[in-house]
Amino acid sequence: MELKSTSLGKHLAQHPYNRVRLLTAGVEVSGEKHEYLIPFNQLLAIACKRGLVWGELEFTLPENKVVRLHGTEWQETQRFYHYLQKAWQGWSAEMSDVSAGALQQAVDNVQRFEQQDRWLKRSELSDLAGTISKTFAALPLPVERLEEFDNCRELYRFCQQWLRDGEKQLATRNAQWTERMLVQYASFFNTVETSPLNPSQARSVVNGEDALLVLAGAGSGKTSVLVARAGWLLMRKLATPQQILLLAFGRQAAQEMNERIESRLQGNADGIEARTFHSLALHIIQQGSNKAPAISKLETDSSHRRELLIATWRQQCSEKKAQANGWRQWLRDELEWELAEGDYWQNDRLAQRLSSRLERWLGLMRMHGGAQAAMIESAPEEVRDLFSKRVKLMAPLLKAWKSALKEEGAVDFSGLIHQAVNILEKGRFISPWKHILVDEFQDISPQRAALLAALRRQNKQTTLFAVGDDWQAIYRFSGAEMTLTTAFHHHFGEGDRCVLDTTYRFNDRIGEIANQFVQQNPHQLAKPLNSLSKGNKKSISLLPEAQLEALLNKISGYAGPEERVLLLARYHHLRPELLEKAHTRWPKLHIDFMTIHASKGQQADYVIILGLQDGKDGFPAAARESVMEQGLLPQPEDFPDAEERRLAYVAITRAKQQVWLLFSAEQPSVFVEQFKRLGVPLLRKP
């Protein structure tokens, strides 16, 4: 059956199409020069319209495309339209049954996915969306028409909801599953640690994302979460002990973790071992090369290390005038040191002073691990030329270091990790670990991150469970890069973030001030951290430093025998002389002194923070990075005193009950005014 324009209609319409013909499952629209085939499976609507004289048929296709036929006799147009409409609707009804069957399969698929008794990962969502999209693409009906059919409508809407709002659907489903787990396994969460896990801790333990960042504020129980996570993986048979790897940054932290796992998981965890990154690298090298590399004496003996560096530096200066002049310029212009004329490098005091700098700069070069050209290339453009000169002056020391390692037949710590990554990339060690759990993640360096990435490339199913706190990132000077935490998913792939929202250490007043102070830096991740105990206005206060003795006198009157007083300063040498007589003056007072960096992980009932002053040995410390640090360390945030602010946060949050911020009345630190603005009271005396 077909419909044609009249001769006059054809002439007046001047349209490319003047004839339409009904086919088995479609229509063909044609003219003198053009022909257009419209299968029913691409047809969205047919409209029959009447003009002043003639009829018009309009065919709507996907993407707002419309094909029109003008100039047909009106009654014939109506007759053809009704016949066509009946044929199209008959075909559509038949195809809706086929479509409903395919959609039902897709719905069953999604529901089976939803009903699994496990956490559903974000990485699985794209596969699910792909399956739904393929189902839609294979339907005989255009997707835009599915709402028209009773047998397709609800099925289509269900699929469309997962396709359009998959993230939201997944989050809702995982939240429901999580709450079920918290009820079903309540006895586990109540007994896995000495105190029951709180809801935010328990939720982070059951979260099964491929890459999970657990933001654990000060005193929020991060070790409990790590232990519980290992226990959960074992109890749910998600891993054997040999498939779980726990990583800590220091030997002592790894040992404490092992002891905690052993005591809490009581024999179920045989085979789980917390390691340091260095011991992990050593294990990979031993297994992947059948060699057991020795750790160099240069790493374990600081006097031997400094001896080598100073001897090489002196030899370099005495043998090459250009090198001697280069070093003179470096030490004089950049470090502002006064140097004697002549053989200045023979000065023992100068050599002693320089040795710690040489250790540090060489350590950063070793951590980078690349060739000189790569180091220079990766340095910020504004310091690159000067950095290049400095690297060339350091090159003989690096060469001497490598020669000493070779002679000893040993490796240094940086070399360990580089070798381990190399072995993994060559496939000479296949990772057995399905779950990697990392403590203090905010301290991670690009080198250690590369080791984690290499392990995960070995086994695509490996999950990364990273527990840390960007508010406590205070080790940039040793290569830690905070953006590996703040931009976690950019570096480690899609996943999720959990927040441990309750601190068990300090009261709400200390928490309020500390949290506001650290979050003034917009680069820090915003998060809640609630305290269980109440404080008062004087839980944190400012006090002139001359009042230290009076303060200790006062504390000695009410501190209990089990309570600890912790004095913290930016540097070791700021230890107050007053403490020399502390054991006789206040014999029952438990007083300790340490640097703020060393206090990480510590806690005390009362904390006294010393040295809030401006200038030399001030807090915040003045930026004193040489070009070597600028070229080799991660770029700092664009915010004044960013890391020093985090250091102050660490110091304040060591306290359970009370904090005093002791400041210089003559040269107060810039932090003093900021604390005042946050409402910290200024006391004249304790």
Distance CA 517, CA 675 (A): 8
Crossing angle for the helix pair 199-206 and 166-184, to the nearest 10 degrees: 110
Listed residue (88, 167, 437, 443) closest to 280, CA to CA: 437
Residues 506/653, Cβ–Cβ less than 8 Å:
yes
**Cβ-Cβ contacts under 8 Å for 286 (sequence gap 6 or more):** 292, 293
pLDDT for residue 21: 94
Distance CA 650, CA 323 (A): 42
pLDDT for residue 8: 67
Residues 253/467, Cβ–Cβ less than 8 Å:
no
How many alpha carbons lie under 13 Å from residue 64 in its C-beta half-sphere?
0
pLDDT tens, position by position, 7-53? 766 666 567 788 999 999 999 999 888 888 999 999 999 999 987 77
SS3 letters across 9-59:
HHHHHCCCCCEEEEECCEEEEECCCCEEEEEHHHCCEEEEEECCCCEEEEE
Which two three-digit tokens encode residue 259?
A: 């002891």
The domain ranges of the chain are: 1-183, 185-294+426-503, 297-408, 508-677
SS3 label, residue 272: coil
Instruction: List the Cα angle 228/232/234 in 5-degree steps.
Output: 120
pLDDT for residue 9: 60
SS3 label, residue 276: strand
Distance CA 468, CA 642 (A): 18
Distance CA 618, CA 667 (A): 9
Residues 354/331, Cβ–Cβ less than 8 Å:
yes
Number of other residues whose CB lies within 10 A of the CB of residue 154: 12
Which two three-digit tokens encode residue 671?
A: 């932090």
Domains 185-294+426-503 and 508-677 share a fold: yes
Secondary structure element (H or E) that encloses residue 106, with its range:
helix 74-114
pLDDT for residue 18: 82
Distance CA 96, CA 148 (A): 9
Strand order in the sheet with 273-276: 273-276, 244-248, 435-438, 463-468, 211-216, 496-500
**Cβ-Cβ contacts under 8 Å for 675 (sequence gap 6 or more):** 513, 517, 542, 661
Selecting from 3.30.750.210, 3.40.50.300, 3.20.20.80, 3.30.360.10, what CATH number does the domain 508-677 have?
3.40.50.300
| Strand duo 294-295 + 540-544: pairing | unpaired
pLDDT for residue 266: 78
pLDDT for residue 268: 73
Residues 51/71, Cβ–Cβ less than 8 Å:
no
Amino acid at 647: L
Give the sign of the dihedral formed by CA 23, CA 29, CA 30, CA 34: negative
**Cβ-Cβ contacts under 8 Å for 615 (sequence gap 6 or more):** 622, 667
Residues 639/374, Cβ–Cβ less than 8 Å:
no
What are phi and psi for residue 403, nearest 5 degrees?
-65, -40
Number of other residues whose CB lies within 10 A of the CB of residue 97: 12
Which residue positions in the chain have pLDDT lower than 70?
Answer: 8-14
Q: What is the pTM of this model?
A: 0.89
**Cβ-Cβ contacts under 8 Å for 160 (sequence gap 6 or more):** none
CATH for 185-294+426-503?
A: 3.40.50.300
Q: ω into residue 640 within 30 of 0, thus cis?
A: no
pLDDT for residue 488: 97
Crossing angle for the helix pair 222-235 and 199-206, to the nearest 10 degrees: 50
Residues 655/509, Cβ–Cβ less than 8 Å:
no
What are phi and psi for residue 19, nearest 5 degrees?
-150, 140
**Cβ-Cβ contacts under 8 Å for 405 (sequence gap 6 or more):** 296, 298, 411, 412, 415
Distance CA 511, CA 506 (A): 7
Looking at residue 668, the DSSP 8-state letter turns out to be B
Class of domain 1-183: mainly beta
Per DSSP, helices labelled H in 487-576 are: 488-492, 508-518, 548-558
Residue showing tokens 């002139």: 544
Distance CA 220, CA 229 (A): 15
Residues 600/332, Cβ–Cβ less than 8 Å:
no
